A and B are shown apart, each in its own frame.
Chain A
Amino acid sequence: MTRLQWLDYRAALGERKTYVAAALMIYAVLAVPLLLAEPPPHVREVIAAWLADEDPFALFMFVWIDLVMNKVIAFVPVILASGVVLRERDTRVLGLLAAKPLTLGRYFVIRTVSACAVMLTLYAVTQVPAVAWFHGQIAGFRAGTFLAAMGLHACAAVFATAFAATVMVAVGRRGAGALVAWMLLGVMVGLALVGFYQPDWYALTLANPLTLGTLAMGNLQQLSPAVLLPPMLALLAWTAVTIAAGARLVRKMEV
């Protein structure tokens, strides 16, 4: 199983879509400092008020998470996960796989974990080198805080990938499944930061897993394991439950 998981991850990593996704994320890394070179005063004031933090680094983190990485986790996970099991069924190789000593549920878990691992790898190969670039471009950039915040956000990306894979098998058709996954992730991303705009709704928005991935933003001055670990654990639990639900659904699929 471990060997199969490793081989599947390597195969997923070598696909063209992974390279295209990495190129898009690297483009975002290069472009964002240009976008933030001269933010207008009303943007600086409002974001400082929302995050209760006047540091220019807080403005950068808001733009990086809201404008870039939240959009990435609305789209890239669907593309990484939209072929899980359904592609094998549509290309008529699922019957062959079903004849192997591997249940369909377990096969779904392997494929989904690979997609999640590819998503994590994309984060690692774009966010870690980004530190060197941002350090020279963003005033007051703090590498440790950035990496810690993005570590939490990566957990949300992993959840989004597992969620997309489960939605795909629940819908049962690739085009329609991708559409539903996009819509649901789009709504979750759209509402992820509403708690910052309207503090009365903050507690309610914690039910949204993608909000949990952004919680570092409100605590950039004192980011600590106590702040990061609870949402990370909650996101890992969400991910495990989502993959388990997908594995259960896929068993009912007609080969």
Chain B
Amino acid sequence: MVASTLDFCGHVRREWQFAPRRGPLIMMLVGIGGVVFTHQLLPLLPERAIGFMRAGFALEDMAAVLALNDLMAVYFPTFFVGLAGSLGVVLLAREEHRLELLLAKPVRAAALVAARATPVLGWTAAVGVVSSAAMAAAIASDSEAGSSVTPAGTFGSGLFLTAVVVVLLAALQLVFVKIRDPFAGLLVACAAWFGTSMPTAVLLYRPDAFARHPLALSLVMPNLLWHDATMAWLGPLSLLIALPLAVALVLAAGAWLERSDAL
């Protein structure tokens, strides 16, 4: 008797059933909690601290300062919940000698990696969407803080960051299929995350560096808030584009695993 094989969507559905849910659900609450905490804490800081952020990041009012801190509350949990799940796709399975067993299934490595990574990326996107919605609700309820950012714009900014996270994690799978040590994988992922945050730190301490390279301003996080109206539509569109792009990247990672001798 020959067991019938599943198509790719069938594999994704099967992996989705077994994907851990508790972590992402907890991180959704952490994202919401982070937003609430920001909105409770920042108004209690002295004007000098708020002025520092406003001047450093060229923000118009308190609402933008709150939104910038909210964006960190979206970006940090979304990336790290996705990273924790992404490690299990290939790296931990390889270290625990389960990868050979998984690849012995009647399924191509590309489909297997993509099917295992897609639920992780899906849950990552869900954490980002929920955190972004919390951010938009908080900005809407804090209308006295200013009008330089809108709930729709901040929601779009959160979705844009979520799209960045989803694509970044999918791209990291290309590295993970070549690495044997999960700790080295963690370090590479942390370095990549820092790489995306670094331009924002440079803006604070070396704004003159951007005078010579104005295009580089598109890499800093406050840029999302400076273009509030654009982000209202660009954010959702970015996430819609990011999801199939991420699936293509994890399929490529699986194809690379198939051709490597790093099993």
Contacts and interface: CB of A to CB of B under 8 A. Distances in A.
> Do A and B truly interact?
yes
Interface string A61-100: 0010001000100010011101100010011100000000
Interface stretch (A30-38, A148-156, A202-210, A217-225): A30-38
A234 B120 CA distance: 40
Interface residues of B, number: 44
A79 B207 contact: no
Given A24-B191, A35-B205, A40-B207, A90 B183 contact: no
Contacts of A178: 84, 87, 186
B152 to A, nearest CB: 28
Given A35-B201, A79-B190, A197-B46, A42 B183 contact: no
A179 B80 contact: yes
Nearest to B69: A190
A174 B92 contact: yes
Nearest to A47: B52
A43 B88 contact: no
Given A83-B183, A183-B77, A198-B45, A90 B95 contact: yes
A186 B194 CA distance: 13
B20 to A, nearest CB: 8
Contacts of A183: 30, 77, 80
A71 B183 contact: no
Contacts of A90: 92, 95-96
B183 A49 contact: no
Nearest to B72: A190
Interface stretch (A3-11, A12-20, A126-134, A237-245): A12-20
A17 B184 contact: yes
Contacts of B202: 35
A56 to B, nearest CB: 13
A43 B22 CA distance: 42
A24 B52 CA distance: 28
Contacts of A179: 23, 27, 80-81, 83-84
Given A71-B194, A90-B96, A198-B46, A63 B183 contact: no
A78 B44 CA distance: 31
B102 to A, nearest CB: 15
A182 interface: yes
A195 B56 CA distance: 20
Interface string B158-194: 0000000000000000000000011110111011001
A50 B52 CA distance: 11
Interface string B196-213: 000001101111100000
B104 interface: no
Contacts of A40: 55-56, 205, 207-208
DSSP class of B's interface residues: helix, strand, loop or mixed? helix
B81 A82 contact: no
A50 B49 CA distance: 9
A182 B30 CA distance: 12
B205 A43 contact: yes
Nearest to B191: A24
A236 interface: no
A10 B182 CA distance: 20
A194 B208 CA distance: 27
Nearest to A80: B183
B48 interface: yes
A38 B187 contact: no
Residue among B20, B52, B181 with the most chain A CB within 10 A?
B52
Interface string A154-191: 00000000000000000000111011001100100000
B206 A16 contact: no
Nearest to B97: A91
A63 B202 CA distance: 11
A46 B52 contact: yes
A38 B204 CA distance: 11
Contacts of A87: 95
18 contacts: A15-B181, A17-B183, A20-B184, A20-B188, A35-B205, A35-B206, A37-B206, A39-B205, A40-B207, A78-B186, A91-B95, A175-B87, A175-B88, A178-B87, A183-B77, A197-B46, A197-B48, A198-B46
- Nearest first, the 6 closest Cβ-Cβ pairs linking A and B are A17-B183, A175-B84, A179-B84, A197-B49, A42-B55, A46-B52
Interface of A: 15-17, 20-21, 24, 34-40, 42-43, 46, 49-50, 63, 67, 71, 75, 78-80, 82-83, 87, 90-92, 174-176, 178-179, 182-183, 186, 194, 197-198
